[in-house]
Structure 1
Amino acid sequence: MEMDTTYFFVGIKGTGMSSLALILHDKGCKVLGSDIDKYTFTQRGLEQAGIEIRSFDAANIQPGMTVIRGNAFGDDQCEIARAQEMGLPIKTYPEMVQDVIAETTSIAVAGAHGKTSTTGLLAHVLSGVSPTSYLIGDGTGKGTPDPRFFVVEADEYRRHFVAYHPDYTIMTNIDFDHPDYFTGIADVRDAFETLANQTKKCIFAWGDDQNLRQLKTTTPIHYYGLNDTDEFHAKNIKRTVKGSTFDVYREDEFLGTYTIPLFGEHNVLNSLAVIAVAYMEKIGHDEIEKELMTFKGVKRRFTEKKVADMVIIDDYAHHPAEIKATIDAARQQYPDKKIIAVFQPHTFSRTIALLDDFATSLNLADQVYLTEIFGSIREKSGDVSAVDLGKKITKGGSLLQLDNMSPLLDYHNDVVIFMGAGDIQKYELAYEKLLSTLSLNNN
């Protein structure tokens, strides 16, 4: 990194962009950026670090800057256009990430689902052992002086991750998502094969995923999972309301018993991937177990609070596989409570492509409510509505309106999970206010 350069981030509030801005700031670089004025959850970390956030304006771009372009912005964006006119260096977000990770032992975490949780867990464990920098998709980033490790969440969308050449890659799964970009599952697998071939040492991949089993690459692959056919595997899994305990083997070699304060089978798998990386880097069992025990989770993944007599869980789940995993985790932690799912479908193309799968996963809850579909910058409308999804759901499926969350007041001593990647949190906030008001009035 050039210390006398000012790095200007176009779209600095984006989850990856805000993390990267924090890392460059931690390294001692001068950092500022621009974005929409609307408040986002990534903003607080930037403000606490003293990083200036400006409104979009071509006048922000000054000589001597290197411009980092957020993935959502094209050449027509006013600041990008000005930087091109001035002949300033412009780097994409993934290109800048590759520059940063090239200086360390780097581990990329890729997958259609589970990558943020796994990246967060790996960053936490390695940070407790050696100096570690990390870049997590929930907007969390940390730059450590002279790091041994760099952990990065690697996003497959629009093949962004093909800019990376990591030492290791964890691949949690391959699934068809982002139907606005990928033509089908073969196209997604092709993108993962590109990253696999660019991985220098080895890959850790979930053994039950048939697409990962079909990867064609010269890079060695170590499979992890719950079966004896997986090189790294968990046995004797005990799932309780406190978390999960399991024995880990590498083929026939017993590596130890591990306990995690996390819920759901997917978190056992995520932990296995982390244990496998640590094993390859010769980190001892006791160090790994100690760090696993203290992991608190990542933003917007199974974040819970208690309001009145209800447990409220907030989760970024926006794909059928993620919804299934989140409900599974809630059932483990709250086996005696009713589980109510409130789901905001995210993008019209994804809702159309996966309509039946969404219904199957949501029906794992005891009761389901939906909100209107949340579009995207590229997709403002489509030939599907939340009502179409609601018709396929047997456990309810009626629509909630922001100004009338009262249907949720029928539940007591139960769990409500708010799921989605859009602005589902405003519905959660409305419900919390309603619950709090009623609770005060009843007291």
Structure 2
Amino acid sequence: MTTYHFIGIKGTGMASLAQILHDSGENVQGSDVEKRFFTQKSLEDKGIPILPFSENNIHGDYTVIAGNAFADDHIEIKKAKELGVIFYRYHEFLGEWLKQYTSIAVTGAHGKTSTTGLLSHVLHEAFPVSYLIGDGTGKGHVDSRYFVFEACEYRRHFLQYEPDYAIMTNIDFDHPDYFTSIDDVFDAFQSMADRVKKGIIACGDDEELQHIQTKVPIVYYGFNASNDFQAQNVQETKEGTEFDVFVRNTYYDTFAIPMYGDHNILNALAVIAICHYEDMNVEDIKKLSTFKGVKRRFTEKKINNQIVIDDYAHHPREISATIESARKKYPDKPVVAIFQPHTFTRTKMFLQEFADSLNEADDVYLCDIFGSAREETGVLTIHDLQDLIEGCSILELADTRVLESHEDSVLIFMGAGDIQKFQEAYENTVTA
């Protein structure tokens, strides 16, 4: 049996893909740095070996899959090339693997992971399904009918895929270290749309997505009356959100989700639309109400009188959406934002937008910028952002106890870097 070796197996997409191959009966192992990542537990639970990086990990009869974060001069990639093994980059292998199934790509600047998780949950209730979620969760099944996967636009990696369907949640300017403008991002999504084989489900409330040209049928969802699938009569409850869905202006049914905020309604509408398009039973689609969420997306716990939330939000729109969800779920509690900017290029590009979105919280703490090996740091510092937010403080890892003063509040730790270390430090302080 072929052994699949993953270089950088702790990456979110890589960890998910490794689990899919393992569940499908393949022999899987991988290597990575020895620092612990939140993706590790799922790999360990399935008994997938994780080795330290070494050229001795590579053998001539292996198939090697390398994470996109690793350059061609990495010791294991060099060894793989020397031995002439079958070698793929992550997105190249995924593009080949999904051809076995009815594939559904979930793409967009925001909401990919949550929507992929929600769709995977609903389909899994009705069919054998494989899915790859960008929070490090992956599941394979030898009899899978569908393959649901998160497709990232960064460096146009999603152009390696030719999915049967694509859900497009939105188009927004992000990854300023690669994309030059919103037009450049749109061009990438247009190229992706050209590769879809059966149909596209797109958010019609997104101005950019309204201009996508398609060769396949396109179904629009959103709040606006012009959409094919429209949410109306939204009600917030103690359990989450209820709303009616109208299909081309005709009442379809009422749905409930255990989340708050317009962005979560839109994600649910995307799932309802694709499931309706595939003729799923409405009672199966209503399993939306039992979704438990994905990792690092509004993941919450209660500590004393505080609600502590971990969220991946790292773009101004995502920060606003996360704060909105907290306000709707906990209307009587002050919201405290603890934010770690991710990459210097993104921080510099969106400096004022970050300040505007963070100002929607009652109190703001900033952690130092999480840099990236793929960029120059320049002269920007966290104080440039602090200067734009009145009353904002810098949070030091050794002094997280200051957050105890916000009794009976919602503390939201946000970021795509290592913001979790600040949350862990705080939790260790208050539970010690």
Q: Which TM-score band applies after superposition, normalised by the shorter structure?
A: over 0.9
Structure 2 unpaired stretches of 5+ = none
User: What's the CA shift for 1:409?
Assistant: 2.0
Corresponding position: 1:184 with 2:200: no
Q: Match of 1:374, SS?
A: coil
Alignment partner, residue 132 of structure 1:
129
Q: Are the equivalent residues in 1 in contact too, given 2:401–2:430 (CA < 8 A)?
A: no
My pick for the range that moved more, 44-53 or 292-301, is 44-53
User: What's the CA shift for 1:154?
Assistant: 0.3
Alignment partner, residue 20 of structure 1:
17
Corresponding position: 1:10 with 2:7: yes
Q: Match of 1:405, SS?
A: helix
| Aligned residue runs from structure 1 range 21-420, under 5 A | 21-289=18-286, 291-379=287-375, 381-394=377-390, 396-420=391-415
User: What's the CA shift for 1:216?
Assistant: 2.6
- TM-score under structure 2 length normalisation: 0.98
Identity %: 56
Alignment partner, residue 440 of structure 1:
none
> Which letter maps to 2:322?
T
The superposition leaves residues 83-116 of structure 1 with CA deviations (integer Å, 9 ceiling, x where unpaired) of: 1111111111111112221111111000111000
The superposition leaves residues 253-283 of structure 1 with CA deviations (integer Å, 9 ceiling, x where unpaired) of: 2210001111111110000000000001100
The superposition leaves residues 354-381 of structure 1 with CA deviations (integer Å, 9 ceiling, x where unpaired) of: 0111011111111111011001121362
User: What's the CA shift for 1:406?
Assistant: 3.1
In 2, Cα distance between the equivalents of 1:96 and 1:253?
Answer: 42
My pick for the range that moved more, 209-218 or 46-55, is 209-218
In 1, Cα distance between the equivalents of 2:379 and 2:316?
Answer: 20
Q: Match of 1:359, SS?
A: helix
Q: Are the equivalent residues in 2 in contact too, given 1:182–1:188 (CA < 8 A)?
A: yes
Q: Are the equivalent residues in 2 in contact too, given 1:387–1:398 (CA < 8 A)?
A: no
> Which letter maps to 1:198?
R
> Which letter maps to 1:392?
L
User: What's the CA shift for 1:222?
Assistant: 1.1
Alignment partner, residue 441 of structure 1:
none
Q: Are the equivalent residues in 1 in contact too, given 2:3–2:26 (CA < 8 A)?
A: yes
> Which letter maps to 1:412?
E
- TM-score under structure 1 length normalisation: 0.96
Q: Match of 1:109, SS?
A: strand
Q: Match of 1:406, SS?
A: helix
State the 4+ residue runs in structure 1 displaced beyond 4 angstroms: none
The superposition leaves residues 34-74 of structure 1 with CA deviations (integer Å, 9 ceiling, x where unpaired) of: 11011111111111111111111111111111110110112
User: What's the CA shift for 1:308?
Assistant: 1.3
In 2, Cα distance between the equivalents of 1:255 and 1:10?
Answer: 47
Q: Are the equivalent residues in 2 in contact too, given 1:389–1:397 (CA < 8 A)?
A: no
Corresponding position: 1:436 with 2:431: yes
Q: Are the equivalent residues in 2 in contact too, given 1:234–1:248 (CA < 8 A)?
A: yes
In 2, Cα distance between the equivalents of 1:18 and 1:409?
Answer: 35
In 1, Cα distance between the equivalents of 2:326 and 2:302?
Answer: 14
User: What's the CA shift for 1:242?
Assistant: 2.0
In 2, Cα distance between the equivalents of 1:404 and 1:63?
Answer: 50
Q: 1:198 to 1:215 in 2, by over 3 A?
A: same
> Which letter maps to 2:36?
Y
Q: Match of 1:204, SS?
A: strand
User: What's the CA shift for 1:310?
Assistant: 0.7
My pick for the range that moved more, 253-262 or 325-334, is 253-262
Alignment coverage as a number of residue pairs: 432
In 2, Cα distance between the equivalents of 1:59 and 1:238?
Answer: 58
User: What's the CA shift for 1:383?
Assistant: 2.4
Q: Are the equivalent residues in 2 in contact too, given 1:314–1:417 (CA < 8 A)?
A: yes
In 2, Cα distance between the equivalents of 1:283 and 1:346?
Answer: 40
> Which letter maps to 2:373?
I
In 1, Cα distance between the equivalents of 2:392 and 2:369?
Answer: 13
> Which letter maps to 1:52?
P
In 2, Cα distance between the equivalents of 1:64 and 1:407?
Answer: 55
User: What's the CA shift for 1:176?
Assistant: 0.6
In 2, Cα distance between the equivalents of 1:365 and 1:241?
Answer: 22
Q: Match of 1:45, SS?
A: helix
My pick for the range that moved more, 70-79 or 297-306, is 70-79
In 1, Cα distance between the equivalents of 2:356 and 2:108?
Answer: 22
